[in-house]
Chains A and B, each alone.
Chain A
Amino acid sequence: MSEFYHSVTLNSESCKGCNNCMKRCPTEAIRVRNGKAHIITERCIDCGECIRVCPNHAKQAVSDPLSRISDFPYSVALPAPAFFGQFKNLDSLDQVLTALKQIGFQDVFEVSRSAETVSRYTEQLMKSDRLNRPVISSACPAVTRLIRVRFPNLCRNVLPLLPPVEIAARMARREAVQKSGLNPEQIGIFFISPCPAKATYIHMPLGTEKSEIDGVLSINDVYLEIVGIISRIEHPEPLSQSSRIGVGWAGSGGEASVLPSDNYLAADGIENVIKVLSEIEDDKLDTLDFIELDACCGGCVGGVLTVENPYVAKSRIQKLLKTLPSSRQQHRDEVPSSALWTVPLEYVPVMKLHDDVATAMKMMKQIEDLVQEMPGLDCGSCGAPACRAFSEDVVRGLASRGDCIFKRREQVQRLVEELSSLENYLPPPFRKPEDEDGAEKED
């Protein structure tokens, strides 16, 4: 298996080579070459911004087809909290959960259930004072990966707790084994995901060696499977075990607002997340206890694999919350070690120019010089997202100076000047006396 797995991929046939995705990528991981976008894999954090902006739908997220659930004698659906915001006129979560059983799942386990558990654990850990403040949520894998590649000093601030979906997977497998009497390997655990970041997570988990999730289905695929049958369900099974605390995780602020401290901040949208992370890095937010960051606008309801506009979905979630008990769990005991990270988050310096500092410095000097020469328009026609990124590519040997159309124009202009000076050239015998002193006449 390759070192990097990504669920964001490019369909070359649909790609027209425009630069929408390249300009939006928060880690400058996209270049356009030969009329097609390319992803620099080690930089990609699977946030899905490129999928969101691509007008040709050439960027895709890899997810499993529904048919994969029949690979297991007993499959459990793990719907993300945001899933419930996709449906119009829902009276209860049970309608959705019952529908999932009707399309082939043997059982369901709401991720919102373990989201409440994670909320309780977070509360406990925050009390213990073992964490570096401000504590940064680890629930959005795109944010965690962003921190890992761009904010080395903040790795130690990330909450070392497994995300709700991982804890849900473990609990769901245990419950399924008990109910079915089957072996753990015979149980298929399928997450219904709002985003490619979480699809990548199961292949390259954070905080643990191996994820317990067997497959990832996208919210939009599963939505299409059940939207037609939901309205026909007259007597939904009483399956839901979620509370307001857990389902509230669907939107930005849902995680942070239920913690006892009011000293928190919740930011959503990748650009805002980057701004907040830079401020934490500069010690400007050191009076805060907790920081919730969601790569998508609105939180997971804004995930790129969702169907509904995030604001509509959020408003539906608000309405559904009223049907739920405020909480279902009480945890006063210690956080079990099984919920904690066993693999620490380590800085992956993918933006580093060279392993040798002196060489990197030489390169940086060339980059800075080149940046000064560039037009500074960040037009993207060179196939790089900005003049600075282009300069870096040139110095790294991945692009050539003349790929900038303005640089190329300068070259052409110089040629034209040379040519015209040749054209005007007269050998001495043919020169007229007035040309001799070089004066040119104008009228």
Chain B
Amino acid sequence: MNEVLLLHYEIRGGDFIHAGESSGHVKNILKRLGFHPNLIRRTAIAMYEGEINMVIHAGGGTADVKITPEQIEIRLADHGPGIKNLDLAMREGYSTASDSVRELGFGAGMGLPNMKKYADDLKIRTAVGKGTTVSILTKVSRNQG
């Protein structure tokens, strides 16, 4: 039977100071498990971006991480405003972040494009007024050899 490790995090909206703690925790766990450094990097950055997005755009949410020896699946779910135009949101530099959020150093519009770049599979389900679920998959096989 395949080994599975499940992790769950509650992410508070608007908490910029602690944003990134869950992805930081996952990063440390992956190091302990001995995954390839590049896989750790890709996973941690993709999750960090998704986590931050929930903090700034969606009023918080939950993160569920499923680790197996072959891959890491991260599901970030929120009940925020949803994304109106996903194609636009995926573009580099596109951001709806407010000025005050930008002043804090967020809102460069690179989060979703980076998630796309680092993930082996990225699925986004979103409904305006209902919320967004982002599923990030990273695979060990990409870092072998």
Contact = CB atoms under 8 A, between A and B. Distances in A.
Contacts of B31: 150, 152, 349, 351-352
B40 A349 contact: no
Given A357-B34, A364-B5, 20 more contacts: A153-B37, A153-B38, A281-B41, A282-B44, A349-B31, A352-B33, A353-B34, A354-B34, A357-B33, A358-B3, A360-B32, A360-B34, A361-B3, A361-B4, A361-B33, A362-B3, A364-B29, A364-B33, A365-B5, A368-B7
A361 B67 contact: yes
A150 B45 CA distance: 17
Contact of A352 (B3, B34, B45, B69): B34
Nearest to B114: A283
Interface of A: 150, 152-153, 278, 281-283, 347, 349, 351-355, 357-358, 360-362, 364-365, 368
Contacts of A361: 3-5, 33, 67-69
Pick the 10 closest A-B CB pairs, nearest first.
Answer: A152-B37, A358-B3, A352-B34, A357-B69, A360-B33, A361-B3, A153-B41, A361-B5, A153-B37, A358-B69
B60 interface: no
Contacts of B38: 153
B129 to A, nearest CB: 32
Contact of B40 (A153, A354, A362, A364): A153
**Secondary structure of the A contact surface, majority rule:** helix
A291 to B, nearest CB: 17
Contact of A353 (B2, B33, B40, B69): B33
A357 B35 contact: yes
A360 B68 CA distance: 11
22 contacts: A152-B37, A278-B24, A281-B44, A282-B44, A282-B45, A282-B48, A283-B45, A347-B37, A351-B32, A352-B31, A352-B33, A353-B32, A353-B33, A353-B34, A357-B3, A357-B34, A357-B69, A358-B2, A360-B34, A361-B68, A364-B5, A365-B5
* Chain B interface, >50% SS class: helix
Contacts of B20: 282
A362 B4 CA distance: 8
Contacts of B40: 152-153
Interface string B64-98: 00011100000000000000000000000000000
Nearest to B7: A368
Interface residues of B, number: 26
A4 B3 CA distance: 34
A265 B69 CA distance: 38
Contacts of A281: 27, 41, 44
Contacts of B23: 282
Contacts of B33: 352-353, 357, 360-361, 364
A281 B20 CA distance: 12
A30 B20 CA distance: 28
Interface in B12-45: 20, 23-24, 27, 29, 31-35, 37-38, 40-41, 44-45
A365 B41 CA distance: 22
A282 B110 CA distance: 14
A355 to B, nearest CB: 7
A248 to B, nearest CB: 31
A282 B114 CA distance: 12
A153 B143 CA distance: 13
Interface string B39-55: 01100110010000000
A158 to B, nearest CB: 14
Nearest to B20: A282
A349 B34 CA distance: 7
A97 to B, nearest CB: 45
A30 to B, nearest CB: 19
A362 B5 CA distance: 8
Nearest to B28: A351
Contacts of A364: 5, 29, 32-33
Contacts of A354: 34
